[in-house]
Each structure stands twice: as C-alpha cells, then as structure tokens.
A and B are shown apart, each in its own frame.
Chain A
C-alpha cells in the first residue's frame, strides 16, 4: 500500500476514536454532575455555531443576504427545508447578478 493509503487509514482510526471517545469516558460514570449536564446540553448549539459564524464574516453581500433570509425563516418556524432552499436561492441569484 502507498503512504497516502496509510495516512488515510490512520486518519480514519483517529476520527473513529473521536467519535467513540466522549462516550468511552462518560459511560464510566453513574451520575453526571448538573454542571456537566448543562455543558453537554449546550454542545449542539455551541459547536454548530462555530461552523457558521466565521464563514458569515468572510463572505460578501450575497452570503450575508442568504444567511439573513434563511435565518429569518428558521426563526419564524418556517422549517428546515424552506429556510435552506430560500437561502440557497437568494445566494445563487445574488452571486450571478452581482458577480
């Protein structure tokens, strides 16, 4: 096998370790402290925010408008699909108009 294949397989192993690591540690504890519980409850919002926020600052008008439109629909409870499609439509339209 080539070095590249070995690197890919090693990358797969360390990725799998991250995907079981948290559970490997936590499943050893019978009870979870309320503060840890609160921390774990915050995980989805905290991590997912970091995947969006910096991207929002690197884009231009099209990207900003797309996030605002999608965000508005998500906030009003318009649903996942509606906000997603509307945001993508705004983005594609503005990118092709503004260039």
Chain B
C-alpha cells in the first residue's frame, strides 16, 4: 500500500502527520478549554494555566493537578500524583523507542516530550500500516496538537467562565469516544480481544476499589501481563508479522 510514497520527502511526511492531527485536535480542544476554565476557577492565574499545558502537556494529570492545588497539600504530593497519572507513558516510550531507533538520541528525546496518548496511538497505527515512523511525520502530527492544546488552555482560562453548560455539549465525553476508536484500530493485533477484555474488567474493578488514577496502571498491567504469559506465540519475528 505504501510502495509509491516517498518517505524521505520531509515536507510531504510533515503534511501527512498534520492531516492525522485533525481529529486529535478536535477531540482534545474541548478538554483543553475545560482545563483552562477549571484551572482559573481553582485559583491558578491565566499564566500558570498556560504554563501547565505547555510544560506538562498531559490532560488527565493536569486536571488532577489543579484539583489538588485547591486542597492545600504538600507540593510533593501534587508532583507524585502527576507522576502516578502519567506513569503509563513509560510503556509508550518503551514501545515507540523500538520504532524510532534510527533517529538520533537527541531527536528521540525531543520527540518524546510530545508523546501523549493520541501521539503514541497514531504512531503505533502507522506501524500497523507498515509505514516508517519518520521524524517529519511525527512532528507534523505533534506540533498542531501541542500548539492547539496551549491555545485552547489560554482561551479557556480567559473566557472559560462564559461556557454555559459544558455537559450539554458533550465535551467531557469526546476523549473517551476518541480513545474507543483508537482501541478498535488495534483489533488486528494478536491477543487483542483477551487483552481488551481483561484490561476493561481490571480497570473497572480498580476504579471502584482503589480509585482513580490507579485504575489506569492496574488495568494496563493486567492486560500486558496476560499478553506476556499467553502460551504459544512463536518467535519475535512471527509476532512482528502479526502486527500488521
């Protein structure tokens, strides 16, 4: 499917990445707006809200952070909570590191600053399509998402108080919908159904027992362990074949 595409054409690759960023920008924008609005109503300045989006750049942990700022906790508790919510990114960089080995270390670690949930999932989709993850494609995807994420945080912080009824517009539910679509994108992979099933059950059980944000780590670890212990998977190269 990719025989006639020149992956060395950085301009074209960058534009292909940008096209992939469109649904991500749409899905994340309301969430980013909401973050800006909530940050200000929880006592952060507009500048602090924007700084958070620009430097942490991880929606769920930013939401948890502003929630904790309002509770007068020790600083390290807030930082540890952000770390706990973001711990799943360790897995992302382990996976994305394998398909970006041909980049320089500096490029890789610069790029991994932008390794959000959708960035990771889109990169893995590209692997599934048997296309190389080029630096130009990766940044074409990353930069629009990043810049819009900062812009909507600013807009939300400045004008968030005038959003009439966010729930009526369904904006709290757009990201889960998008993530559901991403889960489905990987359905051709080996063990997809058992992994999804046990991760769903484990994350729901953890959500109601231990509580958020631990349900993410618990659910993910259970699904990943299942894949690791599942018998008769053949050699690594055979699994690699199965990835497409």
Residues of A within 8 A of B (CB): 2-12, 14-16, 18-27, 32-57, 59, 63, 66-67, 70-71, 74-75, 80-81, 83-84, 87-88, 91-92, 95-96
User: Which chain B residues (168-208) contact chain A, with CB distance < 8 Å?
Assistant: 168-170, 173-187, 189-192, 195-196, 199-204, 207-208
A87 surroundings in chain B (CB, below 8 A): 177, 180
Is B162 in the interface zone, CB < 8 Å from A?
no
A21 surroundings in chain B (CB, below 8 A): 89-90, 93
Residue-by-residue, is B49-92 near A (CB-CB < 8 Å gives 1, otherwise 0)?
A: 00110011110010001000100000100110011001111111
**Pair B199/A45 contact, Cβ less than 8 Å:** yes
Q: Which of B27, B69, B97, B192 is the one whose CB lies under 8 Å from A45? A: B192
In the complex with contacts A8-B56, A34-B235, A43-B95 CB distance below 8 A: yes
B215 surroundings in chain A (CB, below 8 A): 50, 54
A44 surroundings in chain B (CB, below 8 A): 95, 120-121, 124, 182-183, 186
**Pair A46/B199 contact, Cβ less than 8 Å:** yes
B233 surroundings in chain A (CB, below 8 A): 34-35, 38
A16 surroundings in chain B (CB, below 8 A): 112-113
**Pair A51/B179 contact, Cβ less than 8 Å:** yes
Cross-chain pairs A/B with CB under 8 angstroms, 11 sampled: A2-B48, A4-B48, A11-B52, A15-B56, A18-B93, A22-B92, A23-B97, A37-B239, A38-B227, A51-B117, A56-B176
**Pair A14/B235 contact, Cβ less than 8 Å:** no
- Complex: how many Å from CA A52 to CA B93? 21
A42 surroundings in chain B (CB, below 8 A): 189, 191, 195, 223-224, 226-228
- Complex: how many Å from CA A49 to CA B170? 20
Closest A-B pairs by Cβ, 7 of them:
A22-B94, A46-B223, A23-B97, A42-B227, A50-B219, A12-B55, A50-B203
Is B167 in the interface zone, CB < 8 Å from A?
yes
**Pair A22/B93 contact, Cβ less than 8 Å:** yes
Cβ distance B178 to chain A, nearest Cβ, rounded Å: 6
**Pair A84/B219 contact, Cβ less than 8 Å:** no
A59 surroundings in chain B (CB, below 8 A): 173
B1 surroundings in chain A (CB, below 8 A): none
**Pair A23/B227 contact, Cβ less than 8 Å:** no
- Complex: how many Å from CA A12 to CA B56? 4
**Pair B124/A67 contact, Cβ less than 8 Å:** no
Is B5 in the interface zone, CB < 8 Å from A?
no
Q: Which residue of B lies closest to A69 (CB)?
A: B177
Q: Which residue of B lies closest to A27 (CB)?
A: B97
Q: Which of A5, A22, A53, A95 is the one whose CB lies under 8 Å from B91? A: A22
Residue from A25, A50, A54, A57 whose CB has the most chain B CB atoms within 10 Å: A50
Cβ distance B66 to chain A, nearest Cβ, rounded Å: 10
**Pair B219/A53 contact, Cβ less than 8 Å:** yes
- Complex: how many Å from CA A6 to CA B167? 32
Q: Which of B83, B91, B202, B218 is the one whose CB lies under 8 Å from A15? A: B83
Cβ distance B10 to chain A, nearest Cβ, rounded Å: 23
